[in-house]
Amino acid sequence: MFYSSVNSSCIRVLRSTLKTTLKSFSTLQPTLSTTSSINPNFVKIVEVGPRDGLQNEPKPIPPPIKAELINRLAIAGMRNIEAGSFVSPKWMAGTAEVLALIDSFPKTGYSVLVPNQKGLHNLLEMLSTSTSPNSHAKPPPPVTEVAIFTSATDGFSLANTNVSVSGSLERLAPVARRALDAGLKVRGYVSVVVTCPFSGRVDPRRVRDVSRELVQMGCYEVSLGDTTGAGTPASILGMLEEVAKEVDIGILAGHFHDTNGTATANIMTALDFGLRTFDASVGGLGGCPYSPGATGNVATEDVVYALTGDRLFGDISEPYGNHGEPAKAVQSRWDVGPVDLVRLAEIGEWISRVLGRETTSRAGKALLARRKREEDRKRKEGAKL
């Protein structure tokens, strides 16, 4: 089967790697807010591959594979990981089992999607049972956050949750309240912020109003989703300008699908506007069952490369002319934390291979091809000795 590569030997190797890398993360803190008063150039990346990235797969993904994906992402330095969801088993089965299989990393935050009271109840029950002194279950990783979701149009909301936008907000209010009472942070998602597959172009004022409602419920952060991937820098900017009239930009995050190849450009536009948090999915995993043709989320590797990739190439080595001071390489000012881009590329290639396809990350493909070329060169040089 497509997941036959995961076996007990692989799991043992992964756990061994986990133990040897835990110490290096001991001083890192999970980033739970969008802006940083210490470093205004810090960009938080929320890794949504294990949940949003895998929800559109035609076959259920076995929990051990999901758990290994999450563990590998933590090893690669991802500090904010959306681990799963407590929704219909049709879409995301086995989240409780996945959480039980994850190896907890210090200073790494895990979140799960809960669409309703039942989903939150199941999460709280699992957390309560596993932390009971009479329980023999393995303690779960620190699920410190839940995500709730709605949309900017009735058409999409009805297709996704069988209720209108107003009905969705009414349903979510008690979920957010109960989660907050339980000591969990609450993050909100707004889908179809640019175009809707059912009603076409979306009025930015709808996005503004829904975002405001989520903030009033207690969401510390609201992620604005270009679900169809139709957004351009111009349409993203126009939408953000409208939303910012009533919602602090420090609360906003971007969730951009890469259907038309504009996700990275949209992120750079949002960065210039003041956003400092973006969702991404390793290997470009994802899609949307209610938005035909929409491809995956922007690849995490592509985002990290766009923000920090110039640091991979060092200083300028070939001099210009015969005199003068050597030029200094211009480097990006952005900081994404301890993320290892090469490891991300390897993870994107691995999970895509498990799913029976190639990674869609452009940066990931380029990095791995460059490494292979270097390995081939060294092998040829070694053969000449």
d(CA 185, CA 17): 30
CB 159 within 8 A of CB 290: yes
Catalytic residue (one of 10, 196, 219, 288) = 288
d(CA 103, CA 113): 20
CB 189 within 8 A of CB 151: no
335 phi and psi angles, rounded to 5 deg: -125, 125
Q: Which amino acid is at 76?
A: A
- 222 contacts: CB under 8 Å, gap ≥ 6: 187, 188, 189, 190, 211, 214, 215, 247, 251, 252, 253
d(CA 215, CA 17): 40
Q: Which two tokens stand for residue 279?
A: 């969702």
Is 196 a residue of the active site? no
CB 98 within 8 A of CB 70: yes
Q: Which two tokens stand for residue 320?
A: 């210009």
CB 44 within 8 A of CB 31: yes
Residues recognised as catalytic: 288
